[in-house]
Amino acid sequence: MSLEWLVAWSWSLDGLRDCIATGIQSVRDCDTTAVVTVACLLVLFVWYCYHVGREQPRPYAAVNTLMQGPDAGGLQNGFAYCQSPECVRCSHSDGLNQKLYHNLQEYAKHYSWAGMGRIHKGVREQGRYLSSRPSIQKPEVFFLPDLPTTPYFARDAQKHDVELLERNFQTILCEFETLYKAFSNCSLPQGWKMNSTPSGEWITFYLVNQGVCVPRNCRKCPRTYRLLGSLRTCIGNNVFGNACISVLSPGTVITEHYGPTNIRIRCHLGSAEDGPRVVFMVDLWHPNVAAAERQALDFIFAPGR
């Protein structure tokens, strides 16, 4: 048994010696400059990964401090906050920047840092983006840098989903009309939400509210809810995703305000009939948010995280 072991060990050493000799000869045959360049790039890559993983957000003011400053008084950018603890837009917890960075690091640990450049930059600079950006874009919760902006996006931005919604307009309208009949029996039927406005009346019926399905409401609009599952770019897995029916009574005024983020575009499907302005609103991904970024943002801003 000992003799066999010694023979095997001797063979292993011979094989290892041959492998090392082959490797040395391969390096000699290569261009020394190329080898040095590759080695330097490898070192830089390892340093970058370490630096990104260890870096903490810059110590800007907490988001809740920025949003509840002296010009607030319950209003910010013309928006009346609901003060609900479940509302990502209205409940601003201390240390949000640190929380976002922790979520980003958790995502990278499970998946990869690849493609996370803009998100990392956005999280790191979030305090500055939210407080002092001289821009028409002033999201109140999260700003993703370097996204192109325009007052309105062309239909082609999310052509498949826009056309699918338009083809199913009559289906959505029929389910809304059934819902609206309940208003003859009481002032505000179950499932509807009254929104604060300077004048008039604005009510909404959510199927998806901040990334969370509203089961009772979805059961009342089953075909419309199933339609959401057929949309390719519908935001349904993070707190910035909503789908609802919006009804504005004639003469209602909604004060100008900013949305919570620039990673989404809001699609309005409505009709030109007189009377209350009825619109089916769906949040879709901004067309310039890459697939890897969408996956990471779903993780970072998952409901309840």
Global pTM value: 0.72
Average pLDDT score over residue span 262-269: 95
Classify strands 202-209 and 75-76 as parallel, antiparallel or unpaired.
unpaired
The C-alpha atoms of residue 149 and residue 147 are separated, in whole angstroms, by 6
Residue 172: which of 31, 63, 283, 281 has the closest Cα?
281
On the question of pLDDT at 295 being above 50, the answer is: yes
Q: Domain 96-301 belongs to what topology?
A: Jelly Rolls (2.60.120)
With contact defined as beta carbons under 8 Å apart, do 247 and 188 qualify? no
pLDDT of residue 22: 65
Q: What is the pLDDT of residue 261?
A: 94
Across residues 267-295, what is the average pLDDT?
A: 93
Residue 128: pLDDT band with limits 50, 70, 90: confident
pLDDT value of position 1: 47
Residue that wins the pLDDT comparison between 100 and 36 = 100
Question: Between these two residues, 60 and 237, which has the higher pLDDT value?
Answer: 237
> Contact 237/301 with Cβ under 8 angstroms?
no
Between CA 130 and CA 262, with CA 203 as vertex, the angle to 5 degrees is 25
Strands (E), the chain: 75-76, 79-80, 192-195, 202-209, 212-213, 243-248, 264-270, 277-285
